[in-house]
């Protein structure tokens, strides 16, 4: 054991003077060492291979030097000692003459000559260090090394998480969001995704963590990609940027954009790998927060077939009660409703049914449906309840449509009218028959009361029904749904109804004692009249507007589906015959309503004590003129009925009659009865489309997930030197840096550290020719061998 020396015995050339380190480029770096307990030795520049060298400055204690010197001098042992192991841990490499520098080097002066240590002890230190550094070696790794590890679990998770998230959103879209607003397909049924509250709230939670899960998935791929020539960063600065995951950070995107706009001289692009990862990260960053905006909850119904056979309370007529009403009284009632301007409303759920594939629009998820203006494709009215019904029920099937007539050629009945027919206005006779027994019925100004005194009106109504059928006294054999002989015409038997309304308007100067200034009103004459009917010999000075309608109906049973609002398998039935006449058919009751008579006699004799003309105005809620703020009636109208007005009035007559046939015209009925063998929906929450189209978000999520899955499949299952490229890995490379990178070079902003641009950024094999390699930063693209061991 060597005797410990005092401070005065240390050689000034080693302990007192500043120690010197030499880089590969020959640059000398000095650092003073005044401590008596620590010796700074200069390791001889050495190489681990023929291509790469890394000099190392090692700090060892004075006692270690002494004991190491004595052992070396006394025994001459060249095997590794504990202190030489310490030197190996410090990445000391063997001496060599050729190398590939890590930094872009510049010619420098040769290093100054240093005198060898004056004593044998110090000289032995260099010998031991030089002899013991056989190759680079990581601490706690045996000489035979280890194969690069695989991170299988991380790879599986990196693939499973993005796929699971996108599949979950796709199922949500498929189950709920792909249907348009009001579609019945979003109603709840028994299934995994039927709890809409959980589904809706889950996306707000998932959107919070999805981006972090994406970062977890990408991190492993990046660690493997920087070991490939194709994706490896060109310098150490880009490697550090990748390690910081700035490609998934909005601040990183903004910083790169600002630098790109400013075109700073020192700014270098972050690399193709960073750009690609940033692009798909931006897609995910935009898509995930919007997932919650693609859906919203609404009130709806839950349909369960398990409740089939449950008794359901409904309102509306059934087969036994449809004809249980007096025809005359029912017609008078429906005429009063129509003339008073009441809007025809369906009761309770307000749902009607259409044939599958019908173009008629209805909202099956709410209770806001009204009968359509065009029902050329049949609709079915069934008993109503508070929820959607599924099952076979009794109801009324109807068809109707109306159009404005601009020429007499569009008429099929009134085109054959007799303009020379001598109509005695003093007579009660108000019509005549055509040769095919089609009736033409007339109403003039003198045929009734007229509260609108500044408009003269005359009406001609023609129908394709036989006059004998229309004037059936029993109201059940031919114009109702019951028949003693042949079945009544059904949906396929269309009845035509045509109207021509002649009118003229004049200004008024006074009404009673009230003076009226005509200039205060704009009196409109007919604007879309029929040219051939102007100045008719029967109606001189008047213009005619026309409307033509077609309608048909039948009662029977059908299978209704309240989920999608359709009906199928309709079977026509006859109503039970009622003594004294029953309710009129849907299409045959309209002439009675417009002519304001519950019964049309065969001789076409109508009562003259009704205001048929004002009823046309009031049926569509057209207001009359008033004279003051109290709404005093002036007895005048600002306009004649235009063609569209007449069409609306007739359409409302059809709708009102249909509602009365099936529901007695009651929007809030007080009587309900039990309907059996059907299924009814119960109230529940449903999930519908939100303010953001879900298809756009779904496409963005698929692109985001595909990018992660493809990278994971390509790189996550390969062997790599570390699980993720993180700060600790970068620190390890920094410790293993060449000595010509000094802290002073890294001062200031990160982007201004130009030395980082000169260091390589690819992670590869520093000792490709050795049996046991060493992972580090390489220049020239030397990839690691997946089957090789590394120390």
Quick: pLDDT tens for 185-214.
Answer: 777 666 666 788 888 889 988 888 888 888
In this predicted structure, which of 270-274, 338-342, 637-641, 655-659 has the lowest mean pLDDT? 270-274
Residue 628 has pLDDT above 90, yes or no: no
Q: pLDDT-derived band of residue 511, with 50, 70 and 90 as boundaries?
A: low
Q: What are the respective helix, strand and coil percentages of the chain, to the nearest 5?
A: 35, 20, 45
Residue range 111-136: average pLDDT? 42
Q: What would the pLDDT profile of 362-406 be if each residue is shown by its tens digit?
A: 877 667 789 999 999 999 999 999 888 989 999 999 999 999 999
Q: What distances in angstroms separate CA 172 from CA 178, 193, 195, 302, 539, one per listed residue?
A: 9, 7, 11, 17, 66
Q: pLDDT-derived band of residue 170, with 50, 70 and 90 as boundaries?
A: very high
List residues bridging with 626 in a β-sheet: 633
Which residue carries 């993720």 as its tokens? Answer: 724
Decide which of 476 and 341 is more confident. Answer: 341
Q: What distances in angstroms separate CA 745 from CA 22, 240, 266, one per listed residue?
A: 16, 16, 15
Decide which of 13 and 267 is more confident. Answer: 267
Cα separation of 290 and 281, whole Å? 15
Residue 308 has pLDDT above 60, yes or no: no
In this predicted structure, which of 265-274, 403-412, 772-781 has the lowest mean pLDDT? 265-274
Q: What are phi and psi of 762, to 5 degrees?
A: -85, 140
Q: Which pairs count as long-range contacts for 3-10, CB under 8 Å and 24+ apart, including other chains?
A: 4/63, 4/66, 5/66, 7/36, 10/36, 10/62
Give the 3-state secondary structure of residue 584.
strand
Q: What are phi and psi of 753, to 5 degrees?
A: -80, 85
Cα separation of 356 and 339, whole Å? 35
Give the 3-state secondary structure of residue 627.
coil
In this predicted structure, which of 87-101, 124-138, 207-221, 749-763 has the lowest mean pLDDT? 87-101
Provide the 8-state DSSP code for 2. P
Which candidate, 236, 284, 167, 149, places its Cα nearest to that of 716? 149
- Torsion sign, CA atoms 592, 596, 601, 606: negative
Half-sphere exposure (Cβ direction) of 340: Cα atoms closer than 13 Å: 9
Tallying the residues shown for the chain, one arrives at 791
Give the start-end residues of each E strand in 88-153: 146-147
Q: For the chain, what is the mean pLDDT?
A: 76
Give the 3-state secondary structure of residue 268.
coil
List residues bridging with 776 in a β-sheet: 764
Q: What is the pLDDT of residue 136?
A: 64
By CB atoms closer than 10 A (0-12, 13-18, 19+), residue 472 is buried
Q: What distances in angstroms separate CA 247 from CA 169, 410, 447, 463, one per listed residue?
A: 25, 71, 86, 77
Residue 75 has pLDDT above 50, yes or no: no
Residue range 157-166: average pLDDT? 92
Q: What are phi and psi of 107, to 5 degrees?
A: -60, 135
* pTM beyond cutoff 0.75: no
Q: pLDDT-derived band of residue 778, with 50, 70 and 90 as boundaries?
A: confident
Decide which of 46 and 315 is more confident. Answer: 315
Cα separation of 350 and 358, whole Å? 18
Decide which of 84 and 737 is more confident. Answer: 737
Cα separation of 147 and 608, whole Å? 110
Q: Beta 514-515 vs 510-511: how paired, if at all? A: antiparallel
Residue 62 has pLDDT above 60, yes or no: no
Which residue carries 């410090």 as its tokens? Answer: 90
Packing angle, helices 727-735 and 236-243, rounded to 10: 150
Residue 77 has pLDDT above 50, yes or no: no
By CB atoms closer than 10 A (0-12, 13-18, 19+), residue 563 is buried
Residue range 251-265: average pLDDT? 69
Cα separation of 93 and 166, whole Å? 51
Cα separation of 290 and 11, whole Å? 73
Helix and strand numbers (H, E) in the chain are 16, 25
Cα separation of 221 and 707, whole Å? 11
Decide which of 90 and 139 is more confident. Answer: 139
- Torsion sign, CA atoms 669, 670, 674, 680: positive
Q: Beta 439-443 vs 431-433: how paired, if at all? A: antiparallel
Q: pLDDT-derived band of residue 464, with 50, 70 and 90 as boundaries?
A: very high
Written as six digits, the tokens of 525 are 């004459």
In this predicted structure, which of 130-144, 169-183, 290-304, 473-487 has the lowest mean pLDDT? 130-144
Residue range 473-488: average pLDDT? 75
Q: What are phi and psi of 644, to 5 degrees?
A: -65, -35
Q: What are phi and psi of 349, to 5 degrees?
A: -70, -20
Which candidate, 251, 614, 255, places its Cα nearest to that of 451? 614
By CB atoms closer than 10 A (0-12, 13-18, 19+), residue 19 is middle
Return all residues near 33 (Cβ < 8 A) that are at least 6 apart.
15, 18, 19, 39, 40
Q: What are phi and psi of 429, to 5 degrees?
A: -75, 125
Q: What is the pLDDT of residue 254?
A: 76
Provide the 8-state DSSP code for 481. S
Q: What would the pLDDT profile of 27-45 be if each residue is shown by its tens digit?
A: 333 333 333 333 333 333 3
In this predicted structure, which of 467-476, 705-714, 772-781 has the lowest mean pLDDT? 467-476
Q: Is there a contact between 359 and 679 (Cβ–Cβ < 8 Å)?
A: no
Q: Is there a contact between 295 and 689 (Cβ–Cβ < 8 Å)?
A: yes
Of 120-134, 149-163, 463-477, the range with the highest mean pLDDT is: 149-163
Which residue carries 């003459």 as its tokens? Answer: 97
Written as six digits, the tokens of 691 are 């303010």
* Helix (H) / strand (E) containing 120: helix 120-132
Please report, rounded to a whole number, the percentage of residues in the chain having pLDDT higher than 90.
Answer: 27
Decide which of 677 and 756 is more confident. Answer: 677
Q: What is the pLDDT of residue 216?
A: 85
Q: What would the pLDDT profile of 542-579 be if each residue is shown by its tens digit?
A: 999 999 999 999 999 999 998 888 999 999 999 988 77
Give the 3-state secondary structure of residue 496.
strand
Q: What is the pLDDT of residue 90?
A: 33
Q: What is the pLDDT of residue 121?
A: 41
Which candidate, 397, 400, 358, places its Cα nearest to that of 570? 397
Q: What distances in angstroms separate CA 557 from CA 376, 380, 570, 618, 672, one per listed residue?
A: 20, 10, 6, 36, 19
Written as six digits, the tokens of 21 are 């380190």
Q: What distances in angstroms separate CA 267 from CA 257, 259, 271, 381, one per listed residue?
A: 11, 7, 12, 74
Q: What is the pLDDT of residue 165?
A: 93
Q: What is the pLDDT of residue 557?
A: 97
Cα separation of 424 and 146, whole Å? 119
Rg from Cα positions in the chain: 49
Q: What is the pLDDT of residue 59?
A: 39
């Amino acid at each position: 054991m060597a005797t410990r020396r005092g401070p005065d015995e240390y050689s000034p050339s080693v302990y007192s003077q500043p120690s010197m380190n030499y880089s590969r480029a020959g640059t000398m770096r000095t650092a003073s060492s005044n401590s008596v307990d620590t010796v700074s030795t200069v390791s001889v520049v050495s190489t681990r291979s023929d291509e790469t060298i890394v000099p190392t400055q090692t700090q060892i204690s004075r006692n270690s030097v002494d004991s190491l010197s004595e052992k070396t001098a006394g025994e001459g042992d060249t095997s590794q000692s504990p202190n030489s192991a310490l030197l190996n841990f410090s990445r000391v490499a063997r001496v060599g003459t050729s190398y590939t520098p890590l930094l872009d080097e510049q010619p420098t002066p040769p290093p100054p000559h240093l005198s060898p240590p004056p004593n044998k002890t110090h000289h032995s230190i260099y010998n031991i260090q030089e002899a013991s550094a056989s190759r680079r070696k990581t601490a706690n790794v045996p000489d035979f090394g280890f194969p690069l590890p695989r991170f299988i679990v991380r790879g599986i998770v990196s693939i499973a998480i993005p796929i699971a998230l996108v599949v979950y959103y796709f199922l949500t879209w498929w189950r709920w969001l792909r249907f348009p607003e009001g579609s019945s397909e979003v109603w709840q049924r028994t299934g995994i995704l039927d709890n809409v509250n959980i589904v809706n709230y889950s996306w707000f939670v998932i959107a919070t963590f999805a981006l972090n899960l994406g970062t977890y998935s990408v991190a492993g791929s990046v660690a493997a990609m920087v070991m490939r020539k194709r994706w490896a960063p060109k310098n150490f600065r880009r490697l550090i940027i990748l390690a910081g995951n700035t490609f998934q950070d909005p601040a990183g995107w903004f910083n790169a954009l600002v630098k790109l706009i400013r075109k700073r001289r020192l700014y270098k692009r972050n690399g193709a790998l960073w750009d690609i990862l940033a692009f798909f990260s931006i897609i995910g960053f935009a898509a995930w927060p919007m997932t919650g905006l693609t859906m919203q909850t609404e009130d709806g119904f839950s349909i369960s077939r398990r409740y089939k056979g449950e008794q359901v309370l409904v309102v509306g007529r059934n087969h036994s009660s449809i004809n249980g009403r007096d025809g005359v009284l029912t017609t008078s009632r429906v005429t009063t409703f129509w003339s008073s301007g009441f809007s025809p409303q369906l009761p309770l759920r307000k749902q009607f049914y259409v044939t599958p594939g019908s173009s008629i629009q209805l909202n099956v998820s709410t209770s806001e449906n009204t009968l359509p203006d065009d029902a050329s494709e049949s609709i079915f009215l069934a008993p109503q309840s508070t929820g959607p019904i599924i099952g076979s029920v009794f109801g009324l099937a109807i068809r109707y449509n109306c159009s404005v007539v601009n020429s007499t050629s569009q008429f099929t009945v009134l085109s054959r009218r007799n303009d020379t027919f001598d109509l005695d206005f003093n007579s009660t006779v108000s019509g005549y028959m055509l040769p095919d027994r089609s009736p033409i019925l007339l109403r003039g100004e003198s045929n009734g009361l007229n509260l609108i005194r500044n408009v003269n009106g005359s009406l001609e109504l023609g129908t394709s029904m036989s006059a004998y059928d229309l004037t059936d006294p029993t109201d059940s054999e031919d114009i109702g749904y019951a028949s003693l002989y042949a079945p009544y015409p059904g949906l396929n038997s269309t009845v035509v109804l045509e109207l021509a309304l002649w009118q003229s308007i004049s200004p008024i100067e006074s009404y009673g004692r009230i003076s009226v200034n005509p200039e205060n009103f704009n009196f409109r004459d007919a604007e879309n009249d029929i040219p051939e009917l102007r100045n008719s010999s029967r109606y001189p000075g008047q213009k005619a507007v026309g409307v033509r309608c077609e309608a048909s109906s039948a009662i029977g049973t059908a299978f209704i589906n309240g989920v999608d609002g359709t009906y199928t398998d309709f079977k026509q039935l006859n109503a039970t015959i009622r003594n004294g006449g029953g309710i009129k058919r849907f299409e045959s009751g309209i002439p009675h309503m417009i002519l304001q008579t519950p019964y049309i006699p065969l001789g076409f004799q109508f009562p003259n004590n009704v205001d048929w003309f004002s009823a046309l105005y009031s049926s569509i809620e057209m207001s009359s003129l008033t004279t003051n703020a109290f709404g005093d009636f002036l007895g005048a109208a600002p306009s004649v009925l235009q063609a569209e007005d007449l069409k609306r009035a007739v359409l409302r007559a059809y709708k009102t009659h249909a509602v009365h046939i099936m529901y007695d015209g009651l929007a809030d009925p007080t009587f309900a009865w039990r309907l059996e063998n059907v299924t009814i929906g119960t109230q529940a929450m449903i999930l519908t489309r939100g303010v953001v189209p879900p298809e756009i978000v779904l496409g963005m999520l698929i692109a985001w997930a595909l990018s992660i899955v493809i990278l994971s499949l390509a790189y996550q299952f390969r062997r790599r030197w570390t699980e993720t490229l993180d700060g600790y890995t970068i620190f390890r490379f920094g410790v293993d840096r060449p000595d010509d990178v000094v802290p002073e070079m890294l001062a200031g902003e990160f982007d201004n550290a130009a030395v980082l641009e000169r260091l390589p950024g690819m992670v590869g094999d520093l000792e490709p020719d050795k049996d046991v390699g060493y992972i580090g930063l390489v220049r020239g693209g030397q990839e690691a061998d997946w089957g090789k061991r590394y120390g």
